[in-house]
A and B are shown apart, each in its own frame.
Chain A
Amino acid sequence: MKLVKKETHDTGTAGNTKGGLLGRTVDRRTFLRGTGIAAGGAAAVTALSPRMMQRAEAAQEKAADGEITIKSSVCSHCSVGCGFLAEVQNGVWTGQEPDFDSPLNLGAHCAKGASIREHGHGDKRLKYPMKLVDGKWQRLSWDQAINEIGDQILAIREKYGPDSVYWLGSAKFSNEQAYLFRKFAGLWGTNNVDHQARICHSTTVAGVANTWGYGAMTNSYNDMHLCKTMFFIGSNAAEAHPVAMQHILRGKENGGKLIVVDPRFTRTAAHADQYIRLRSGTDVPLIYGILWHIFENGWEDKEFLAQRVFGMEAIRAEVAKWTPDVVQDVTGVPPEEVKRAAQTMAENRPGTIVWCMGGTQHTVGNNNTRIYCVLQLALGNVGMPGGGANIFRGHDNVQGATDFGVLADSLPGYYGLAEGSWKHWAKVWDVDFEWLKSRFDQAKYEEGKDQVSAMELRGITVSRWIDGVLEPAENMAQRAPIKAMFHWGHAPNSQTRGVEMKKAMEALDLQVIVDPYPTVSAVMSDRKNNTYLLPAATQFETYGTVTASNRSIQWREKVIEPLFESLPDHVIMYKLAKKVGLAEQLTKHIQVNGEEPLIEDIVREYNRGMWTIGYTGQSPERLKLHLANKHTFNVTTLKAEGGPCDGEYYGLPWPCWGTPEMKHPGSPNLYDTSKTVAEGGLPFRANFGVEYEGKTLLSEGSWTKGSEIEDGYPEFTADLLKQLGWWGDLTPEEQKAAEGKNWKTDLSGGIQRVAIKHGCAPFGNGKARCVVWNFPDPVPLHREPIYTSRHDLVAKYPTYEDRKRFWRLPTRYGSIQAKDYSKDYPLIHTSGRLVEYEGGGEETRSNAWLAELQQHMFAEINPADGNDLGIKDGQWIWLEGPEGGKIKVKAMLTPRVGKGVVFTPYHFGGWFEGKDLVDKYPEETAPWVRGEPANNAFTYGYDSVTAMQETKASLCKITPA
């Protein structure tokens, strides 16, 4: 043994080598870990050993038959769509390998994806059906559970009507399950069906679709390699979409400039060339401030605006009001920072804009999403590689679940709820329209100025189901309040107004939770009876398709059989349908094996109906071919180079027009006119008519490559084909099917085929519009948050007036804003994500590998505020919102948030007002880590178009606990 004297160097920041770098405790990760490790650790160590044994046992058995099977699946924790490979031995998920072939992630994972194998253990899973009897969880059989639930909902339907049962679905469904769920709700006879997209990107979908046609991410994560500027506003990709950062940082290495706008100095901001701290809820003024410089300097793309954009003059008029000093006063951003951002974007084109919940979850969410689009239009940044609006979706299949209409205002494919839409789907489902109609409440209800039948009336949104239970019937646009709730894959703690939600849960006759975990729904209320827990399998215990944020559809293979007594969601749907007498209609053209509807048949069925957004070309066979040939796709363009998928884009990103036989390659970048439509090119959609107030809404002098109509044109109908003399291009069978139809309703696909054959887009060639005349604010306006920190600005920028009926419910705006809360609640409260957890966090907080990394719910407070309040780092505090919701959390003093701002992560749950509810979970199901839900302190406030909840600009006060 030789002893060598270790030399120590003073090396600045890295100099403190006491205990080595692994021993340093300077950051959030190690924040307050101390006692947590001891307490949680002791519990974990004992509990972890069985699963280690499980693997060892499988390994032993492996020696006997030596077979390892590899299954290819996709991580279920965000919308990037990261592929992974699972090693399975004797039915046990024993290993996880990176999927280097996947062009979306190249094998990479964040903390969640890298620990996805824990799903194969499921220590904390719900293991069998249970119900609450006199405050105790009782086990019961599947048949008994389905029978009891079925009988009760039938009785509620009889007494209160179909709208008193609420179907809260999930962005965790596969596309097939999402489609089946929406179909089920339709057959049940209600539009009271919704899912997390409502509280995620509903304002994006509405705002963006109403600007240029489709409300989805225009380009792809991979395409960001080509951006010259990347403007992030309200997106913290480093924590919410970590693998996206691989592409973003590659873009930056290629010379792209990264600008991050956020009230917090996020981990994404740490990599930015420019960081702008704005006051929460002032996105519209900031963008107007940027546009002010763009117009002032003539940096707008004049040719693009003339050819492809409607209504920019109205924007200019509003921009004129937002001079640099006004912008500074409202947003808090210094004028030189605004100018610098404008100049960077103008000088580095094409650029992209990225936004997430920071932009969408506001009472003015739809204004935000539209003004972001307007900025991109002004710069001429839409419809090309490296440009577009890269809207990062949240859950793994929130794009798909939205596309398949698990929404209170639409049928699958954004067909809406009009009679014609129901007729279209009735035809696809092969059910009698009159029968379908008879399933609904036959009365009409007030919506705005109109009386609308229940079948065509938008339902209650997930953000407001609480009010749907608690509001007196006479105030609502439906027969009776909600009596039964299905929480089918939903975290209640991801929703605001937790205190009222507890009351709503207690007021329900029946509560049914269908989920792999009990979720916070099982424990947050003081219900004593009639709550059912049905164990659903995860996406790794079944198979099907999932749509990534970039609209690529990936096929997931089944990794393992359902754990314990859990069942895949579509099996549970079928069981329930059978019980309530809807099985025949639900699966008329879908093969059912035992009680499992065949996934491939579901795909084929929706292929026959999803013409609007081109989910028609992606047959199971084509998607499986992409799965098998992932490695042939270029990682920047996503285009296959050679091989059996040559020329196609990975996952056939929608729209993938026409029938599968047409072999459309998918559309990689929306509205890109440099490609033919047959090769994935598109103009803007002509979805708003052909003219408005005497001005054309069709594009002028711009068309996609190879278009035989070298100008704007409306959407394709049978009549238009006849006018153009192209009717003869249809086969006789197609002519028969297409007669009187349009590109959305022709089930033969002939109209689409012929339009594309002539180089035209089925949806027409229109202009993007900056003025959405059918929205409350046709030109996006700034309106102060309802609970504003700047009440002095309310007179100039007031919120909306209260509404009598909005999504069936009375909705308040001005009556709340009228009172100034900022004196008693002086701090802005905003929320966001942590990389280790997802959504309400039940799944990820139940994964020990993740839970160990974040053991405490906390609030980030600026050190100056902490000192003013006499609060020290790590101490327990009460955080109270202006509606009285209060949470007990640990203080984390950090300059990450500006003075006057408090940030909380929203993934925690399982506590209520300082009390750990661990005893209320069924045995062995409480997540490793529990904490106070941030949303219990968040307040009222809903977007004026979509009823999105406000979680980014509220108020709070803080006191030592």
Chain B
Amino acid sequence: MARMKFLCDSERCIECNGCVTACKNEHEVPWGVNRRRVVTLEDGVPGERSISVACMHCTDAPCAAVCPVDCFYTTDDGIVLHDKDLCIGCGYCFYACPFGAPQYPQKEAFGVRGKMDKCTFCAGGPEGKDNSEEERAKYGRNRIAEGKLPMCAEMCSTKALIAGDGDMVADIYRERVLKRNGRPQSWGWLAAYQEDV
């Protein structure tokens, strides 16, 4: 079974914010809400690296684990989604998420007030038919239902951000790493494995 994954290749990410505005454009994300953001480390000095971050659609999603109203579900492809009708906007998932993905619009956004909003992997939510007006209004566009992949990755300026079946993503990434003389240079690698690599 395929599992949908994002991967951001930090050797290619140039912090152009294309992914951020692609997301805003596709889902009409209001000002102040960031389903995706680019983070830069070591800004302005050698070693500077950027990565694009959003909901990582965790296999064992901590947000779902802590949700007091159980509004999260995971699709067969491993996309973590939630039901805004159930969400009470408590912010517990924000505590749990290691990536700060959940957003809490200050004002009304996506037709609802105070509910948590996050990246849907462009897969909408549990509302009416796929790509119905209701679903779009509450969750944004459902590209997965249309047979398309997340807009952020599809528009990434350098193809640093890759989204799709984890195995296929890994194939692309592995090939690039091999080309770069086998050095693991992805952001997160050193963080994850420290100096044991």
Assess A/B contact in the complex (Cβ within 8 A).
yes
Judge if B70 is at the interface, Cβ distance under 8 Å: yes
Mask, B92-116, CB within 8 Å of A = 1, is: 0010111111000011110000000
Nearest Cβ on chain A to B18's Cβ, whole angstroms? 4
Q: Point out the residues of chain A lying under 8 angstroms from B25, CB to CB.
A: 96, 114-115, 117-118, 849
The listed residue (B20, B96, B148) touching A853 by CB distance below 8 A is: B20
Judge if B67 is at the interface, Cβ distance under 8 Å: yes
Mask, A90-129, CB within 8 Å of B = 1, is: 0000011110000000111111111101100000000000
Nearest Cβ on chain A to B145's Cβ, whole angstroms? 14
* Contact status B107-A45, CB under 8 Å: yes
The listed residue (B21, B41, B50) touching A115 by CB distance below 8 A is: B21
* Contact status A265-B46, CB under 8 Å: yes
Nearest Cβ on chain B to A856's Cβ, whole angstroms? 15
CA–CA, A13 and B32, complex, Å = 26
Nearest residue, chain A, Cβ from B109: A45
Q: Point out the residues of chain B lying under 8 angstroms from A852, CB to CB.
A: 24, 31-32
Judge if B159 is at the interface, Cβ distance under 8 Å: yes
Judge if A706 is at the interface, Cβ distance under 8 Å: no
* Contact status A45-B14, CB under 8 Å: no
Judge if A29 is at the interface, Cβ distance under 8 Å: yes
Q: Which of B8-58 contact A (CB under 8 A)?
A: 11-12, 14-22, 24-26, 28, 30-32, 34, 37-46, 48-51, 53-54
* Contact status B99-A21, CB under 8 Å: yes
CA–CA, A3 and B187, complex, Å = 29
Judge if B62 is at the interface, Cβ distance under 8 Å: yes
Mask, A36-53, CB within 8 Å of B = 1, is: 010011101100100110
Q: Which of A1-53 contact B (CB under 8 A)?
A: 1-4, 6, 11-15, 17, 19-24, 26-29, 37, 40-42, 44-45, 48, 51-52
Q: Point out the residues of chain A lying under 8 angstroms from B38, CB to CB.
A: 29
The listed residue (A17, A27, A59, A60) touching B98 by CB distance below 8 A is: A17
Nearest Cβ on chain A to B52's Cβ, whole angstroms? 10
Nearest residue, chain A, Cβ from B34: A22
CA–CA, A51 and B22, complex, Å = 17
Judge if A267 is at the interface, Cβ distance under 8 Å: yes
* Contact status A114-B18, CB under 8 Å: yes
Nearest residue, chain A, Cβ from B69: A1
* Contact status A42-B107, CB under 8 Å: yes
* Contact status B17-A110, CB under 8 Å: yes
Q: Point out the residues of chain A lying under 8 angstroms from B157, CB to CB.
A: 108-110, 113, 242-243, 245-246
Instruction: Report, as a range, how many residues of chain A touch the other chain.
Output: 35 or more
The listed residue (B39, B46, B51) touching A275 by CB distance below 8 A is: B46
Judge if A452 is at the interface, Cβ distance under 8 Å: no
Q: Point out the residues of chain B lying under 8 angstroms from A44, CB to CB.
A: 30-32
* Contact status B133-A56, CB under 8 Å: yes
The listed residue (A17, A108, A253, A265) touching B155 by CB distance below 8 A is: A108
Q: Which of A760-800 contact B (CB under 8 A)?
A: none
The listed residue (B45, B49, B70) touching A1 by CB distance below 8 A is: B70
The listed residue (B20, B28, B107) touching A52 by CB distance below 8 A is: B28
The listed residue (A4, A14, A112, A267) touching B14 by CB distance below 8 A is: A267
CA–CA, A12 and B188, complex, Å = 11
* Contact status B43-A28, CB under 8 Å: yes
Judge if B167 is at the interface, Cβ distance under 8 Å: no
Judge if A140 is at the interface, Cβ distance under 8 Å: no
Judge if A896 is at the interface, Cβ distance under 8 Å: yes
Judge if B2 is at the interface, Cβ distance under 8 Å: no
CA–CA, A167 and B71, complex, Å = 62
Q: Provided the pairs A4-B65, A41-B32, A111-B17 are in contact, do residues A26 and B191 lie with their beta carbons within 8 angstroms?
A: no
Judge if A836 is at the interface, Cβ distance under 8 Å: yes
Q: Point out the residues of chain B lying under 8 angstroms from A326, CB to CB.
A: none
Q: Provided the pairs A59-B136, A109-B22, A894-B44 are in contact, do residues A29 and B17 lie with their beta carbons within 8 angstroms?
A: yes
Q: Known A-B contacts: A265-B44, A268-B14. Give 7 more (CB < 8 A).
A: A14-B188, A22-B53, A22-B100, A52-B28, A238-B15, A249-B12, A849-B21
Nearest first, the 8 A-B pairs at minimum CB distance are A20-B100, A896-B44, A22-B100, A44-B31, A111-B17, A115-B21, A27-B40, A114-B22
Chain B residues within CB distance 8 Å of chain A:
11-12, 14-22, 24-26, 28, 30-32, 34, 37-46, 48-51, 53-54, 62, 65-68, 70, 94, 96-101, 106-109, 133, 136-137, 141, 148, 151, 154-159, 176, 179-180, 187-188, 190-192, 194
- Please name 19 pairs of A and B residues whose Cβ atoms are closer than 8 Å in the assembled complex, sorted by A: A4-B65, A4-B66, A20-B53, A20-B101, A21-B53, A26-B41, A40-B31, A42-B107, A45-B32, A59-B136, A108-B155, A114-B151, A242-B18, A246-B12, A246-B159, A265-B44, A265-B46, A268-B14, A895-B45
